[in-house]
Amino acid sequence: MRITVMGTGYVGLVTGTCLADLGNDVQCFDIDQAKINRIEGGDIPIYEPGLNSLIERNMKTGRLSFSSDIDSSVAFGDIIFIAVGTPSMEDGSADTRQVLQAAKSIGALMTNFKVVVNKSTVPIGMADIVGETITSELNTRFNSMNCERPGFSVISNPEFLKEGSAVEDFMRPDRIVLGIESSEDGNKAREMMRKLYAPFNRNHERTFVMNVRSAEFTKYAANAMLATRISFMNELANLAERVGADIDSVRQGIGSDPRIGYSFLYSGTGYGGSCFPKDVQALQYTANSNGLPLKILSAVEAVNQRQKYVIAEKISAYFDNNLEGLTFAIWGLAFKPNTDDMREAPSRVLIKELLTRGARVIAHDPVALEAAQVAFKEDLKDHPELSNQLQFCENAMDILEGADALILLTEWKEYKSPNFAQIKSLLKQALIFDGRNLYEPQIMQEQGFIYEGIGRRASPVDLLFAQSSAKAETA
């Protein structure tokens, strides 16, 4: 089949490349010619395991091409995926201007039947607006012409890709959600989409067909549920520290219940990235706009923001609230492993907090150093003097020498089994703050470390933290 993907960001690149690998002819469009040139030259703008080789392979076969020519791109595909960005606005709503611009271009240029697929995460009801936009453009073109205008169907096909495993998620989906309205054009679109996704349904049916608004809602509901599980466990972890429980034991105890399961029950420094924060806010905005505020999601977001400060408060409590002149080594900057995504990363909150309190920070990440430098340039633009206290390094062990503590913020594989004897010899003191509970407290204590995780047993630092929090609450 002939496919056009509008947008060469995270979702667009993965979608277009994977569909090409299944044997379709795919053209990916982007208005940024410089970005197209980079991709064609092998410089992929995102880090995603397996994606580079897949792009290279399908470009060689001719099944995958890239273009900044909107005319040829609209003409190319019988199915057009809109996969452009929908970032959060200040009020929490999704910025849909790129989606509407794509719709206008389609309506202004299409000459034959098109299935227009909303792949971007869009507000509930956006398919109707996209359809109205395309119709308006068609009316402008055809009202004065004595000819039949081309038909189209706007459908919702939300993505459920996890950064770091997006190629695998696309190629082995647990579900394919299609929102399609019943009509002559809708039925035609349904058959074309079933044909497109047939390779995924050979062993068993993975496709769920529903009305468009239900499909749009499904995307937000899924991410909101996962974000809720994370915030729920983080609140329990903080309580576990107060009462002397081990949150990992609790996780195993409740996760073994098949009604609950283990996924997204890990406590840490809070969620980040491009999806959970944005989608939770967008669903709240939709709820508020309809006069039905979602109290649970308000709490989920508040807990997540609070959680990003927990490690900073533990560190401050340990050093008697005086971090001036101290040096901290940080392992992990991206919001999760196997990505270079720094959007809403907890590391950004912690590092800025440490710098503001007078500490020096040396940081390492296997792939996100370049993205981190861009992120912190933005974060520190109002306090450029703090940039002198922040350093990035390409070697994880080098940053430990003379540091007052190691802070772990992203659970990269290369951090899971380090040389602890070497770590101990390089640090000023054997002190680790583990924001991802990557290590076992008992093992760390046996090796002579002072170890602080999230909810991993009460300790002197936990008690100090609890006492300082109690004082602050009663002040």
Whether residues 232 and 282 fall in one domain: yes
pLDDT at 210: 97
- For residue 185, what are the contacts with CB-CB under 8 A and spacing of at least 6? 113, 151, 152, 153
pLDDT in tens, 359-398: 999 999 999 999 999 999 999 999 999 999 999 999 999 9
- CATH code, 293: 1.10.1040.10
pLDDT in tens, 108-150: 999 999 999 999 999 999 999 999 999 999 999 888 777 788 9
Structurally, the chain folds into a number of domains equal to 3
pLDDT in tens, 33-42: 999 999 999 9
pLDDT in tens, 247-288: 999 999 999 999 999 999 999 999 999 899 999 999 999 999
Integer angstrom CA distances of residue 51 from 14, 27, 163, 206, 332: 7, 16, 11, 23, 22
pLDDT in tens, 68-81: 999 999 999 999 99
Q: Average pLDDT of 430-450?
A: 95
204 pLDDT tier (thresholds 50, 70, 90): confident
- CATH code, 376: 3.40.50.720
pLDDT at 462: 47
Whether residues 297 and 328 fall in one domain: no
Whether residues 73 and 190 fall in one domain: yes
Whether residues 347 and 359 fall in one domain: yes
Average pLDDT of the chain is 94
How many CA atoms, within 13 angstroms, populate the side-chain half-sphere of residue 275? 20
Q: Average pLDDT of 343-370?
A: 97
Two structure tokens written together for 201: 């349904």
Whether residues 341 and 366 fall in one domain: yes
List, in sequence order, every residue forming a beta bridge with 10; answer none if it has no partner: none
Whether residues 280 and 368 fall in one domain: no
Distance between CA atoms of 16 and 81, rounded to whole angstroms? 9
Per the CB < 8 A criterion, the answer to whether 419 and 384 are in contact is no
**Which of 306, 322, 346 lies at the terminal end of a domain, its last residue?**
306
Is residue 472's pLDDT more than 60?
Answer: no
Whether residues 279 and 378 fall in one domain: no
pLDDT at 455: 95
Q: Average pLDDT of 210-236?
A: 97
Q: pTM value? A: 0.90
Distance between CA atoms of 333 and 409, rounded to whole angstroms? 7
458 pLDDT tier (thresholds 50, 70, 90): very low
Nearest Cα to Cα of residue 179 among 231, 125, 223: 125
> For residue 131, what are the domain limits?
2-210
Q: Average pLDDT of 340-354?
A: 97
**Which of 150, 181, 210 lies at the terminal end of a domain, its last residue?**
210
Per the CB < 8 A criterion, the answer to whether 121 and 281 are in contact is no
Whether residues 436 and 451 fall in one domain: yes
> 3-state class of 458 per DSSP?
coil
Is residue 475's pLDDT more than 80?
Answer: no
In a domain, 368, yes or no: yes
**Which of 179, 210, 241 lies at the terminal end of a domain, its last residue?**
210
Whether residues 353 and 467 fall in one domain: yes
In a domain, 216, yes or no: no
Whether residues 31 and 153 fall in one domain: yes
Q: Minimum mean pLDDT among 293-297, 386-390, 458-462: which range?
A: 458-462
User: Please, what is the end-to-end C-alpha distance for the chain in angstroms?
Assistant: 66
Whether residues 255 and 336 fall in one domain: no
Whether residues 202 and 239 fall in one domain: no
Looking at the annotation, which residues are catalytic?
275
In a domain, 215, yes or no: no
Is residue 466's pLDDT more than 80?
Answer: no
pLDDT at 461: 53
